[in-house]
Amino acid sequence: MSDSLRKLRHVSVVAVEDGGSREAFLADAQRFRRELLAHCYRMTGSLHDAEDLVQETYLRAWKSYDGFEGKSSVRTWLYRIATNTCLTSLEGRKRRPLPTGLGAPASDPTGEIAQNHEITWLEPLPDAPREDPSDPSVIAESRESVRLAFVAALQHLPPRQRAVLVLREVLQWKAAEVAEAVGASTAAVNSLLQRARAQLDEVQPSRDDRALAPESPETAELLAQYITAFENYDLDKLTALFTADAVWEMPPFDGWYHGPADIVTLSRTHCPAEKSGDMRFLTTTANGQPVAALYMLNPQTGRHEAFQLHVLDVRDTGIAHVVAFMETALFAKFDLPDVLN
């Protein structure tokens, strides 16, 4: 348990004992937890850090509750605290990239592959259970604003630009509200936003095809074919599922691969699987995208063990991008088992 969580639980007990408005505040503020998590995730690119920062946000809010004058909503006030908590946390930290964000060209799929644990990599965000779309937290956590490509692009921005762009473009705050939140003039906010937009345009590839929702029938069909191809070790079938410009990357390996042929060659060359039955999958969603959780057969135990989380960017033209996260500790964050019997 983090120190912030221990402190928050302590102050929650104190609030209940006081029986005053703080208790009501804490009860009311909890309904914003999920959208604040998404906000802190956009800022940091880390699920783990976002969870800690949300706890710190509530702790700071509780401590400063006497200074809350009600000039804004509790939600807006919490976002201000969360934003500044994130900015403080990000001071002196390096951005969290994906391999494609390191600036290197596409890798040779037959060459050596190497893990780079010196880089703090971008992490996926498990999707929340389906909620009422009229809820403001659902609006704030729109799929486009947490898609891996967008969050990865945000990591190219300095933290202050990142905050301004998220508050203005995702949360649709007015410039004056953003200025108050980040302690800058309105003119400075507009300048930061202009620079942030220009830099995002440089790092985000434009696409002509349409991203498909994870619950759409088209996505379900493509995901089923993707899983079947891997489980049957039918890599020729897999080739046909990717778009012509598809990208594959798998942090903490620092290479990335471009095009269906290279992606399949990578699998033939470096994947531990050798035959049908060596791989099994469970499905879930993350970042508003479908996820195929891969379990690899361990010949020594005869069981399939957690191996990779494949977060897919599914388009109406095929599978355009796969980020295969190798960090098996993420399986628990998705309520996935470590082993399939």
Residue 325 and residue 284 in contact, taking contact as beta carbons nearer than 8 Å: no
Residue 106 and residue 257 in contact, taking contact as beta carbons nearer than 8 Å: yes
The residues, ordered by sequence, that sit 6+ positions from 126 with a Cβ below 8 Å of its Cβ are 47, 284, 285, 286, 333, 334, 335
Q: Over the stretch 191-244, which tens digit does the pLDDT of each residue have?
A: 999 999 999 998 887 777 888 989 999 999 999 999 999 999 999 999 999 999
Residue carrying structure tokens 């509790």: 74
Q: Is the pLDDT of residue 108 over 50?
A: yes
Determine the angle formed by the axes of helices 21-29 and 47-63, rounding to 10 degrees. Answer: 160
Per-residue pLDDT band for 131 (boundaries 50, 70, 90) equals: low
Per-residue pLDDT band for 18 (boundaries 50, 70, 90) equals: very low
Alpha carbons 43 and 59: distance in angstroms, whole number: 19
Q: What percentage of the chain carries pLDDT values higher than 70? A: 89
Average pLDDT (109-115) is 95
Residue 235 and residue 308 in contact, taking contact as beta carbons nearer than 8 Å: no
Alpha carbons 15 and 98: distance in angstroms, whole number: 42
Alpha carbons 167 and 190: distance in angstroms, whole number: 12
Domains and CATH numbers, the chain: 1-93 (1.10.1740.10), 217-340 (3.10.450.50)
Q: Give the end-to-end CA distance of the chain in Å, rounded to a whole number.
A: 30
What pLDDT does 74 receive?
85
Average pLDDT (119-132) is 84
Q: Is the pLDDT of residue 78 over 90?
A: yes
What pLDDT does 25 receive?
75
Average pLDDT (17-41) is 79
Q: Is the pLDDT of residue 283 over 80?
A: yes
Q: Over the stretch 140-168, which tens digit does the pLDDT of each residue have?
A: 446 788 999 999 999 999 999 999 999 99
What pTM did the predictor assign?
0.89
Q: Is the pLDDT of residue 11 over 90?
A: no
Alpha carbons 109 and 139: distance in angstroms, whole number: 40
Is residue 106 packed enough to be buried (19+ CB in 10 Å), middle (13-18) or exposed (0-12)? middle
Q: Is the pLDDT of residue 14 over 50?
A: no
The residues, ordered by sequence, that sit 6+ positions from 235 with a Cβ below 8 Å of its Cβ are 229, 264, 267, 268
Average pLDDT (32-39) is 94
Per-residue pLDDT band for 64 (boundaries 50, 70, 90) equals: confident
Per-residue pLDDT band for 71 (boundaries 50, 70, 90) equals: low
**What is 7-34 written as a DSSP string?**
HHHHHHHHHHHHTSHHHHHHHHHGGGHH
Residue 200 and residue 145 in contact, taking contact as beta carbons nearer than 8 Å: no
Q: What is the mean pLDDT of the chain?
A: 89
Q: Over the stretch 257-276, which tens digit does the pLDDT of each residue have?
A: 999 999 999 999 999 999 99
What pLDDT does 12 receive?
44
Cross-strand partners of 334: none
What pLDDT does 3 receive?
55
